[in-house]
Amino acid sequence: MEPAGCFNADDLRAEKTKVLNAVHSLDGSDGRANVVRAQYGAGAIAGRNIVPYRQAPNVAPHSITETYIAFKLMIDNWRWAGVPFYLRTGKALARRRTEIAIQFKQAPLAFFRDTPVERLTPNDLILHIQPDEGVTFGFGAKIPGPTVRISGVEMKFNYEDYFKAAPSTGYETLIYDCMIGDATLFQRADNIEAGWRVVQQVLDGWAEDPMVELPIYPAGGVGPGEAEALLHRDGRRWRPIDGGGRNP
């Protein structure tokens, strides 16, 4: 969102609505090319065996309800034109975590003698939302020595480490806001409608062809191969769900 004219609930939510209204349409071929859905099968999480979704209690044996979805979104405004946004969420994955990863563009020219610029590790900023709140900044640093060698390094900040504050669910903040009448973090009708406009196009596309077989990914994994292919065609890949290291 763009900065609001002033810090009040209505102005902030108006800017959020503008961003959602600028999301590029995902109907027809765009939806089929840029959205992946799937359903989890048998697997194991933390040593516990997981039955396939279709064998879970109260689930139809031939259910086509998705338990995983991945998007590629584009925003048609001056600030974000040409910048891809990749989103994914799913059940029964290897780990439960919520984060926002921002990868910065490569500089047009880097003066590192005898170093292939196109293979330098990109800088990234990771906002950790749940379960561990904090920020990680990853960037390239020269390895000490007479030759020019670059390696990725990280600076990490965790709220719990610095402020000794236990992670919260977020509901505490919302309940307090209700008590004091602050609507900033709550959705307004036009926010909700703008968000549904984005996903309803995809839902309508799926409804037109309900017999398409869903990809199945193993419980305890990272999702379907089709989601990996969604990023691979752009020369990218998802961040590891287990948090083990940075992507090249």
pLDDT digits (tens, 9 = 90+) for 126-138: 999 988 889 999 9
| Residue 39 to residue 91: CA distance in whole angstroms | 9
On average, the pLDDT of the chain sits at: 88
Architecture per CATH, domain 1-83+188-238, reads as 2-Layer Sandwich (3.30)
Q: Spell out a b/e string for 198-207, using b for 16 or more CB atoms within 10 Å of the CB, else e.
A: beebbeebbe
| The residue to which tokens 């037109």 are assigned | 208
The model carries a pTM of: 0.87
Dihedral angle at the C-alpha atoms of 102, 103, 104, 109, nearest 10 degrees? 170
- Phi and psi (nearest 5°) for 167? -55, 145
pLDDT at res. 117: 57
> CA-CA distance, 217 to 240, in Å (whole number)?
16
Residues of the chain where predicted confidence (pLDDT) is lower than 50: 243-248
